[in-house]
Structure 1
Amino acid sequence: MDPWRYSTEGISVALRVTPRGGRDDIDGIETLANGRSVVKVRVRVIAEGGEANRAVMELLAKALGVPKSRVRILSGATSRMKQVAVDGDPKMLGDTLRKVTAANLEKD
């Protein structure tokens, strides 16, 4: 099951973020112990003063080809587990995210 949901405005993505992860990257999809799927994201910056959240939003915007203003955190601003909304064409965003997560699984 995909870790994102479609809406009329775009998609909502479940993330597990690793701050100070050595690089800014999307590592693929992980299934948690509770059965929930999340997109694994790592960023270089530390989780202080919203820096990691900004890096996550910039990374997603770049990966999905949308302006940064279209990405916002819905929940989990102070947690590793986040729900992020991306506004735009839901089908195009979902297809792009599927390609990005699949490509990053193959390079590991």
Structure 2
Amino acid sequence: MTVHVKPRSRKNAIEWIDDETAKISVTAIAEKGKANEAVVEVLAEDLGIAKSCMEIVRGKTTRIKQVEIKKLFEK
């Protein structure tokens, strides 16, 4: 999924554009991965899954990121 990130916002929030795209505002600053961690937390909470099920696969240093959701259940 594609995520557009706005760091240093007043509050953590998520706005879904469509099923695969979201705008996420986080209070964390974009320094030493703090904003990336906050993005994963906000997204995981909104989707109701564990943070460990997600990974930022592209865009770790940019505002537009690709997030991959790993397998939720293993056989």
TM-score, normalised relative to structure 2: 0.85
Question: Unmatched 5+ residue regions in structure 2?
Answer: none
Matching of residue 24 in structure 1 with residue 12 in structure 2: yes
Structure 1 distance, partners of 2:30, 2:15, is 18
Moved over 2 A (4+): none
| Alpha carbons of structure 1 residues 44 and 79: separation in structure 2 relative to 1, 3 Å | same
Alpha-carbon deviation of 1:27? 2.0
CA-to-aligned-CA distance 1:62-97 (integer Å, 9 cap, x gap):
1111111001101000000000011237xxxxxxxx
1:1-108 alignment runs, 5 A limit: 13-29=1-17, 38-87=21-70, 88=72
- 2:48 alignment partner AA: G
The alpha-carbon deviation at position 15 of structure 1 amounts to 0.7
Which segment drifts farther, 21-30 or 77-86? Answer: 21-30
Q: Choose 1 or 2 for highest CA Rg.
A: 1
Is the partner of 1:66 in helix, strand or coil?
coil
Q: Distance in 2 between matches of 1:73 and 1:62?
A: 16
SS across alignment from 2:17: strand
Sequence identity of aligned pairs in percent? 41
Structure with greater helix share of residues: 1
* Structure 1: distance between partners of 2:17 and 2:9: 16
CA RMSD of aligned residues (A): 1.7
What is the alpha-carbon distance in structure 2 between the residues aligned to residue 71 and residue 63 of structure 1? 12
